[in-house]
Amino acid sequence: MDAGRAVPSNSTAGMLLSGRGFILAGEGCETRYAAHLLAALGADVRIESGPADLHPALAWVCSGLMWITGNPSRPGRMLPAPVGACANAVLRALAALGVKLPPAWQQADVMLVHRAALLGLRRQGRHSPGGSCRLLQAADGMLAVNLARAEDWELVPAWMEGREIADWAQLATALGAHTVEAALGRARLLGLPAADANALPRDGVPWCRVQNFGERVEPARSGRVPRVVDLSSLWAGPLCAQILHQLGASVIKVESTLRPDGARAGNPDFFDLLNSGKTCVAIDFTSAQGVARLRRLIETADIVIEASRPRALRQLGIDAERMLAENPGLSWVSITGHGREEPEANWVAFGDDAGVGGGLSAVLAQATGEWAFCGDAIADPLTGLHAALAAWCAHAAGGGSLVSLAMRDVVECCAAWEQWRGVDALQARMRRWHALASACGLLGCRPQRPIVGGVARTHGADNAALDELLAC
């Protein structure tokens, strides 16, 4: 991009940065995507000449993403889409806002492989590195199917119209008799996480949507560090909250007394990485008293993060739009698989299938002729990063906003950034990017274990502190 060139804004993401101007100095994809993120939030952004960015091919390789992408019997695959560079650009945009993360949290591309590094995951081709999601051949194309929960397998016979299915092999056989459209439609009706793997990413998909429902306070809830109420679980939401914590926010992690965050049952280092430093409370969501406690806690918050389908909180009588209207200065961050509007609001997604739905596997297949997962549940950390940027901007703007991020859309936005035109151009890009990584001697880079800065509090460990807070 020419030095001094203005970046056009995109009003779909709201005007959280309206009236603010930024100058980014740099040359490359990362700088341009950081400018796009800020402009999408309403900022006036100009790019000037500066240091060259890390090339997108090197971000993919050096992070270890190439190591966990592709067929296990062949070398790792280059993805000719700037996903790692886009992740780095999120932190570049945050830095432009005048905030700085600690050294251990200053490289975003490696955050995309944190779980793989801690669990020792490897590439498995059409099986996701974590093992719960697979790319399966339907009658007319590929479908990503994620059966991470026991209840998912219980629904499979109904999905396959009464046919008994006991394992993946039987499911693959049965799915071959169904079209992608028919199988996907039934999966969504049943609440099964699935995605059409065949569509290439579309240009212009917004990475977030902002709606104003409440009153802004300038500055939002002044006089103390931002208080974040984290209602999310697993990866995307907790990562967003952890980044806000690293920026100085006070984070209260809220879990159900009956159903703790499922990540607690997984790798303890990974859970600590995402949740250390947070106050941990447990609330009984099945009782009126518990729901009342949750409501009072939200009323004390500056930022709420939740990552469930909208109906989940509405069933408890917690309505994001109403809470925003009744609590000036509050910002609400909603992370979903496909968005908050009907019918997408009812569709289930996890990180692997959302990454496929965003077009990553289709890009890889078109470039190489090989179907495989790209990264490990990549939509989760990629969305968590973008959500942290949006949350910080919403709070700095004075609150009053509902910020919605759909994991599928975040992936698609990154996958389509500065995209190619045609199969020949895509394959030529892949060859150039692979040659660059090879010339730099980086093709063997593996995911590196992150520094885990502390131990997360146990489930409900800080309930007494919650009592004191709500008594004030």
For 207, phi then psi, to 5°, come to: -80, -20
Secondary structure string (H, E, C) spanning the chain: CCCCEEECCCHHHCCCCCCCEEEEEEECHHHHHHHHHHHHCCCEEEEEEEEECCCHHHHHHHCCCCCCCCCCCCCCCCCCCCHHHHHHHHHHHHHHCCCCCCHHHCCHHHHCCHHHHHHCCCCECCECCCCCEEEEECCCCEEEEECCCHHHHHHHHHHCCCCCCCCHHHHHHHHCCCCHHHHHHHHHHHCCCEEECCCCCCCCCCCCEEEECCCCCCCCCCCCCCEEEECCCCCHHHHHHHHHHHCCCEEEEEEECCCCCHHHHCCHHHHHHHHCCCEEEEECCCCHHHHHHHHHHHHCCCEEEECCCHHHHHCCCCCHHHHHHHCCCCEEEEEECCCCCCCHHHCCCCHHHHHHHCCHHHHHHHHHCCCCCCCCCCHHHHHHHHHHHHHHHHHHCCCCEEEEEEHHHHHHHHHCCCCCCCHHHHHHHHHHHHHHHHHCCCCCCCCCCCCCCCCCCCCCCCHHHHHHHHHC
Average pLDDT over residues 23-38: 97
Q: Contact, 207 vs 40, CB < 8 A?
A: yes
b (16+ CB within 10 A) / e for 274-287: bbebbbbbbbebee
Q: Quick one: pLDDT band at residue 302, thresholds 50, 70, 90? A: very high
Average pLDDT over residues 350-373: 98
For 288, phi then psi, to 5°, come to: -60, -35
Average pLDDT over residues 436-441: 97
| Predicted local distance difference test score (pLDDT) of residue 224 | 79
Q: Quick one: pLDDT band at residue 14, thresholds 50, 70, 90? A: low
| Predicted local distance difference test score (pLDDT) of residue 2 | 42
Cis peptide bond prior to 343, omega within 30° of 0 = yes
Q: Is the pLDDT of residue 3 over 50?
A: no
What whole-number distance in Å separates Cα of residue 172 and Cα of residue 226? 49
Q: How many angstroms separate the Cα of 81 from the Cα of each of 297, 363, 391, 414?
A: 41, 8, 26, 8
| Predicted local distance difference test score (pLDDT) of residue 6 | 59
**Token pair listed for 52:** 């060259």
Considering the chain, what percentage of its residues have pLDDT values greater than 70?
A: 96
What whole-number distance in Å separates Cα of residue 372 and Cα of residue 73? 12
- Among 405, 447, 458, 437, which Cα is nearest to 13's? 405
**pLDDT tens per residue, range 406-435:** 999 999 999 999 988 899 999 999 999 999
**pLDDT tens per residue, range 169-220:** 999 999 999 999 999 999 999 999 999 999 999 999 999 999 999 899 976 5
Amino acid identity of 339? G
Name the pTM for this structure: 0.96
Q: Contact, 248 vs 100, CB < 8 A?
A: no
Strand partners, 12: none
- Among 125, 116, 132, 135, which Cα is nearest to 72's? 125
Cis peptide bond prior to 381, omega within 30° of 0 = no
Its sign, for the CA torsion 62, 68, 69, 71, is positive
**pLDDT tens per residue, range 133-153:** 999 999 999 999 999 999 999
Average pLDDT over residues 49-70: 98
Q: Contact, 47 vs 93, CB < 8 A?
A: no
- Among 317, 315, 389, 302, which Cα is nearest to 346's? 315
Rg (CA), the chain: 22
Q: Quick one: pLDDT band at residue 108, thresholds 50, 70, 90? A: very high
| Predicted local distance difference test score (pLDDT) of residue 1 | 38
Average pLDDT over residues 309-335: 95
What whole-number distance in Å separates Cα of residue 252 and Cα of residue 36? 31
The per-residue pLDDT of the chain, averaged, comes to: 95
Average pLDDT over residues 235-249: 98
